[in-house]
Amino acid sequence: MKSKKNIVAGLGEIGNPILKLFSKYDLVVGYDVNPKLMNNKKFERVSALDTSFLHICIPFGGKFVKSVTSLIKKFDPECAVIHSTIKPFTTKKFKNYHKYPLSIAQYEAFIKEC
């Protein structure tokens, strides 16, 4: 079975604890627009692996759908999980951007310090 990676996009208050928690159990790397927050060596090492899950942990705003769409195109995951608080029906907007089936889930949970 071919190894796959999981990506946590957005390494702030939500993404960083998720990265730490999931890293205990699976191959997970962090991605952020600020490269200083990333482990670039680890990211480069696993860049050739397919992406199983893309965990979206970026703030909701006017360009949220465009930003998430860009991340999905960049990493081509089997499933995208949105950990951000979003407006109702936001996930339906992704259908306009994707011509292939993609599972998108919104996940609400209490995040505790790792």
pLDDT per position as a tens digit, 16-30: 999 999 999 999 999
pLDDT per position as a tens digit, 47-105: 889 999 999 999 999 899 899 989 998 999 988 888 888 888 887 787 666 655 666 66
pLDDT at 110: 45
Instruction: Spell out the domains of the chain, with CATH numbers in brackets.
Output: 4-106 (3.40.50.720)
H or E, element range at 75 = helix 64-75
Which pTM value belongs to this model? 0.83
Instruction: List the structure tokens of 36.
Output: 């200083």
What's the CA gap between 32 and 67, in Å, rounded?
Answer: 12
